[in-house]
Structure 1
Amino acid sequence: MEAGDKQVKSSEARSAGVELAAVLPNDGIPWYKHKHLVKVNFCVISLMLFSGSNGFDGSLMNSLLALPWWRDFMDNPTGAWLGFINAAYALGCAVGYPIAAWISNRWGRKLPVWISVLLSFIGVAMQTSAQNQATFIIARFFQGLSQGFTLSVSLLIAENVYPTHRGVCSAIYNCGWHFGSVIAAWATFGTRNMTDWSWRLPSLLQILLPVLGVPGLIMIPESPRWLVSKDRSDEARQNLANLHTGGDINSPLIEFEMTEIELTIKAEMEAEKNPWTDQWTTPGNRHRLLITLSLGTFAQWTGNGVVSYYLSIILNSVGITSVTHQTLISACMGLWNLFWSLLAALNVDRLGRRMLFMSSAIVMLISYTIITGLSGSFESTRDSATGLAVIPFLFIYFFGYDIALTPLVVSYPIEIWPYNLRAKGLALTQVVSLSFTFFNTFVNPIALDAIQWRYYFVFLATIIVMIFVVWFYYPETRGLTLENVALLFDGDEAHVGVATAENAIKSSNIKHKHIEESQN
């Protein structure tokens, strides 16, 4: 893409953002004093717990590895066997994501989440009561399948929230992963001396967060964009009004949003040929596809997979072998990750996506280089001080990871893909990410056993690639509606409904006048 084309597309997109700003209510009242905005943001927080459930389930194995009673139950798994146990969860997720994308486009964004809750009950019951290794592994697959069906939660959030809150709310969603991982880590730390229930009780607690997410799922309406795609525009208008303007269906903001949504979705559907192959048939979609594939790769191939799943192995390799110390470090790391990912998510519109991505890659590169050097030095010298020095750099590394790859791995794909490809684009990001997770969980323990710290060089190379890919191919999307992000990728070819503030205000005034005349 030429520099001049980038500037033109960016200018067009920013102009669209100005049009939105012109129709926003200007009453000077903060959002937390508007009941309708409090309701929608409560729904966001409640729905974020489904991401927390993913974090709990996905990170639980890291904590269980430190428990002698679980290791005895699973016959002290190592190498390929340990990798297979961990990979069952990732495989379930990978199976669930494409199915959830199809269901969410056909029957709505909410149905897959209800299926997820049901599957979670099945998985938790099996894992908690498991009497043999096969049952435990099947339960992990069901838990992964359940999390795959939560794909549409992030779509519900992005397509329902107040337009100026979308960037922050979408970014906050995936931070829930660390919230869940914190609960898993501290729960396991608290039960570490409870013999067999040291791992069964944390397994049972996996159901807690999905249950707490149900109120938000009940309260939030179906996506207005999905309703429009099914020719239910009146219902979509009412839902938008209830969420964004307290029920005023004739607000200029609602006129603007509905015009943009209706025209854009109509244009997308008229241009659509094949829902899957459309992802690479245009230059703009090939650009999106590059981002999707690379982001899914960076999310799991920049070193976090080693630390997230095999922290206890890493700590053992640098001389920290106490169960108490290992579970405590894991729990503290969860709190650290939650803090930095939330802070970045809350400032995503202030700092911008590109700045967060670039800062993330640079911090990870520096810290992981030092971790690699210290790990190699410890292997040669067995000096305890050198081993302990790895710990602070693990925390610094995760600071770098948390500020971009936690909040943006879900929200950024949602922003860049148009409505008709949004669920599939997000599913593809997650499938790519989980493919690497599956590979990581199966291969990492083998590689760590065989070449130990030298394996880290693979991830250093990926981080270097990330810096170049982000710099040249990741555009800034802050300040834009979901529809107008298309201008950054497609320019004049974008299927974007032309909504202007002036027309929205005029239309609103005309409708108000008709209402007043009918009342007289």
Structure 2
Amino acid sequence: MSFLITHAKQAITDKQTNVVIFSATAIALYGYDQGMMSLINTNNNYLSAMGLEGESPVVGVIVAVYYLGCAVGAVLFSKFADTLGRKKSIFFSLATASLGNLIMFVAGMGNMGTKVSLGVMLGGRVIMGLGVGGIDAVIPTYSSELSADDARGKALAQEFQSNIFGLVMAFGINLAVTIALGKWNEWAWRIPIIVMQVYPVLLMAVVKRLPESPRWFIFHDRQEDAKEALNDIYGNEGKEKFDELLEQHEKEKDESVGYFDMLTPSHPHFHPTMVTIMCQVNQALTGYGAVSVYGPQIFELLGFSVRNSEYLTLGNYTSYFFLMTLAWLLIDALGRRHLLIQGSIILASSFALLAVFGGLAANANALDIPIYVPGIIGTVVLFIATGAFGIGWLSTVWLIPTEIFPTTARAQGTAISVIIWGLANFAITFLTPVLFNNLDYFIFLVFAGTNAVAGLWTYLYLPETGGRTFDENQEFFKEAGEQGSWRVSKVAKGEYAKMMYPDPKDPEGGNVDAERVPLLQRLEDQVPSVEE
């Protein structure tokens, strides 16, 4: 009980904890949308109101167009984040998401024709995407700038665990009202939409209580405000943190970086920009955007009925949420590269097995085997694959761009990350129904191959950013330019393939290779004690 009371007090009084809780709740918006649309897509009243057939490609367009809105919102609200501040940008992102959600809710009401209803729904999806894109771009930047160097990964992984909570919550509500009201009842799809309003309304009410990013204050020559924010966040350590940030600002203040600069091969930030782009492309290639949105259809490929597929999807999402605890325990203990590479190996192997079990389920009668055998084994494999994605690939690719750019380019870097995420997921969610209809269970083989490609690229070209300061991570790209190679093994004698960690034998000294610190010690460090 004392443990719970202590940490409840910390959640109320500690500003960094406040930021994590707020950021986690905001990130849950993205997860809620995925879980919300997965069953709305199969609601007969919804399809009728939009004038669509169940297998119409427009169903996929309605889902996918949201991601295009996210891409635009990332640019728009990242610009606001640099000019107006992180907090104001987050507020306007939330307000935009709330407006889009309300527009989706009223689509098809009254005497709207099907064409008007479809247009209103598409408009609502785009507007909500604008807001969520802003949240996904600004929140990781804001959270990272207020986290310690050795806890950035843990903070963001905890936030993305909340993302999965939003997914579970939406799908659970959707499934409950679908069972209670039926697939022909319009409230079975409207209720899950309007419940989403809880997130932006609650967050807009509390955002003013949070500290602004001290890095943003210093970047805008508001040193006194930065000191006040740092003292509010770090207490007695505020003065030391201010001196560090001011020193870093002096190095960066003359830099002016635009999006075109970052996409110019000769520019110093082209290399980190390409790393950011490829991280999001590779995350899309894992196929888990499709699994999240079209979960029930995946289980149907393993031979389950529609209702049992929906129950199993909810179970998969619930397991996903709890397994995400391992993500925030491991990300700062093992490092980003390790989790990504191991995740790719497990995912590629799992999808290859799913192709086998999907094939056995589809041909169970001809092979004279009980259909539940490949179905059950395939379900276990899919649960494992979902956990591997959550632990390895969900939060890491959002964290990396916040760690490899200077303050002058960090908002643009995270915006580019969201843009690529939006475009890649637009393509994946649009194409997945087509792939389902044409490839059947062979779709799993496609994902097995793309996961192998993602893992190989990560091994060759992604530097380990964990346990290093922002300055140290940027040093990798300077040395890569001097070496004339992007291969991690060829830059700085391969030092950036290793995770750095505080040396337990010399707490006041520098970080050491994490392999020199016992894994148990690293894991213990991620779990706060009651005294803390």
- Does the pair score TM above 0.5? yes
Does residue 341 of structure 1 match 2:324?
yes
Whole-angstrom distance in 2 between the partners of 1:476 and 1:392: 31
Whole-angstrom distance in 2 between the partners of 1:433 and 1:341: 20
Contact 1:261–1:483 (Cα < 8 Å) also in 2: no
Question: 1:353-368 alignment to 2 at 5 Å?
Answer: 353-368=336-351
Contact 2:25–2:162 (Cα < 8 Å) also in 1: yes
Say which of 357, 374, 396 aligns to 1:408.
396
Give the C-alpha shift of residue 418 in structure 1.
Answer: 1.6
The code of the aligned residue for 2:352 comes to T
The code of the aligned residue for 1:338 comes to F
**Structure 1 stretch 199-208 or stretch 472-481: which is displaced more?**
472-481
Q: Given the two structures, how large is their TM-score scaled by the length of structure 2?
A: 0.80
Structure 2 partner of 1:10? none
The code of the aligned residue for 1:240 comes to L
Structure 2 partner of 1:464? 452
Say which of 71, 80, 85 aligns to 1:103.
80
Say which of 276, 291, 302 aligns to 1:307.
291
Say which of 414, 420, 444 aligns to 2:432.
444
> CA offsets per residue over residues 384-418 of structure 1, 9 Å max, x none?
22234322211111111011211212112111222
Does residue 142 of structure 1 match 2:127?
yes
Does residue 120 of structure 1 match 2:107?
no
Give the C-alpha shift of residue 92 in structure 1.
Answer: 1.2
Does residue 272 of structure 1 match 2:256?
yes
Structure 2 partner of 1:331? 314
Give the C-alpha shift of residue 231 in structure 1.
Answer: 0.6
Whole-angstrom distance in 2 between the partners of 1:491 and 1:261: 23
SS of match in other structure, 1:240: helix
Structure 1 partner of 2:269? 285
Contact 2:103–2:120 (Cα < 8 Å) also in 1: yes
SS of match in other structure, 2:14: helix
Contact 2:42–2:54 (Cα < 8 Å) also in 1: no
Structure 2 partner of 1:51? 27
> CA offsets per residue over residues 239-283 of structure 1, 9 Å max, x none?
0111011xx4xxxx4344223322323322324364541455568
Does residue 90 of structure 1 match 2:67?
yes
Contact 2:98–2:200 (Cα < 8 Å) also in 1: no
Change (3 A) 1:392 1:36: closer
Does residue 424 of structure 1 match 2:409?
no
Contact 1:79–1:446 (Cα < 8 Å) also in 2: no
Change (3 A) 1:119 1:272: closer
Whole-angstrom distance in 1 between the partners of 2:61 and 2:362: 27
Structure 2 partner of 1:167? 153
The code of the aligned residue for 1:351 comes to L
Give the C-alpha shift of residue 174 in structure 1.
Answer: 2.5
Whole-angstrom distance in 2 between the partners of 1:34 and 1:451: 52
Where in structure 2 are there 5+ consecutive unaligned residues? 1-5, 109-116, 483-507, 510-532
Whole-angstrom distance in 2 between the partners of 1:269 and 1:283: 17
Change (3 A) 1:241 1:217: same
Contact 1:341–1:407 (Cα < 8 Å) also in 2: no
Structure 1 partner of 2:140? 154
Structure 2 partner of 1:481? 469
Give the C-alpha shift of residue 120 in structure 1.
Answer: 2.5
Structure 2 partner of 1:241? 231
Whole-angstrom distance in 2 between the partners of 1:87 and 1:338: 24
Question: 1:191-230 alignment to 2 at 5 Å?
Answer: 191-192=177-178, 193-194=180-181, 195-230=185-220
Superposition RMSD on alpha carbons, in Å?
Answer: 2.6
Structure 1 partner of 2:40? 64
SS of match in other structure, 1:349: coil
Change (3 A) 1:139 1:110: same
Say which of 15, 18, 24 aligns to 1:39.
15
SS of match in other structure, 1:405: helix
Contact 2:100–2:125 (Cα < 8 Å) also in 1: yes
SS of match in other structure, 1:480: coil
Q: Provide the identity percentage.
A: 23
Structure 2 partner of 1:73? 49
Give the C-alpha shift of residue 485 in structure 1.
Answer: 2.4
Structure 2 partner of 1:381? 364
Say which of 282, 306, 316 aligns to 1:322.
306
**Whose RCO is larger (CA < 8 A, sep 6+)?**
1
SS of match in other structure, 2:130: helix
Structure 2 partner of 1:182? 168
The code of the aligned residue for 1:480 comes to R
SS of match in other structure, 2:394: coil
Give the C-alpha shift of residue 87 in structure 1.
Answer: 1.2
Whole-angstrom distance in 2 between the partners of 1:322 and 1:278: 47
Structure 2 partner of 1:514? none
The code of the aligned residue for 1:426 comes to T
Whole-angstrom distance in 1 between the partners of 2:231 and 2:468: 20
Whole-angstrom distance in 2 between the partners of 1:79 and 1:99: 32
Whole-angstrom distance in 1 between the partners of 2:336 and 2:470: 15
The code of the aligned residue for 2:388 comes to G
> CA offsets per residue over residues 417-472 of structure 1, 9 Å max, x none?
22111111111112112111111121111122112222333322221122222222
Where in structure 1 are there 5+ consecutive unaligned residues? 1-29, 495-500, 503-520
Whole-angstrom distance in 1 between the partners of 2:481 and 2:270: 14
Give the C-alpha shift of residue 45 in structure 1.
Answer: 0.6
Whole-angstrom distance in 2 between the partners of 1:276 and 1:345: 34
Structure 1 partner of 2:423? 435
The code of the aligned residue for 1:77 comes to G
Q: Given the two structures, how large is their TM-score scaled by the length of structure 1?
A: 0.82
SS of match in other structure, 1:350: coil
SS of match in other structure, 2:333: helix
Give the C-alpha shift of residue 327 in structure 1.
Answer: 2.6
Change (3 A) 1:312 1:56: same
**Structure 1 stretch 299-308 or stretch 420-429: which is displaced more?**
299-308
Contact 2:402–2:413 (Cα < 8 Å) also in 1: yes
Give the C-alpha shift of residue 284 in structure 1.
Answer: 5.8
Say which of 336, 352, 362 aligns to 1:369.
352
Contact 1:42–1:216 (Cα < 8 Å) also in 2: no
Change (3 A) 1:378 1:350: same
Give the C-alpha shift of residue 70 in structure 1.
Answer: 3.1
The code of the aligned residue for 2:31 comes to G
Contact 1:174–1:410 (Cα < 8 Å) also in 2: no
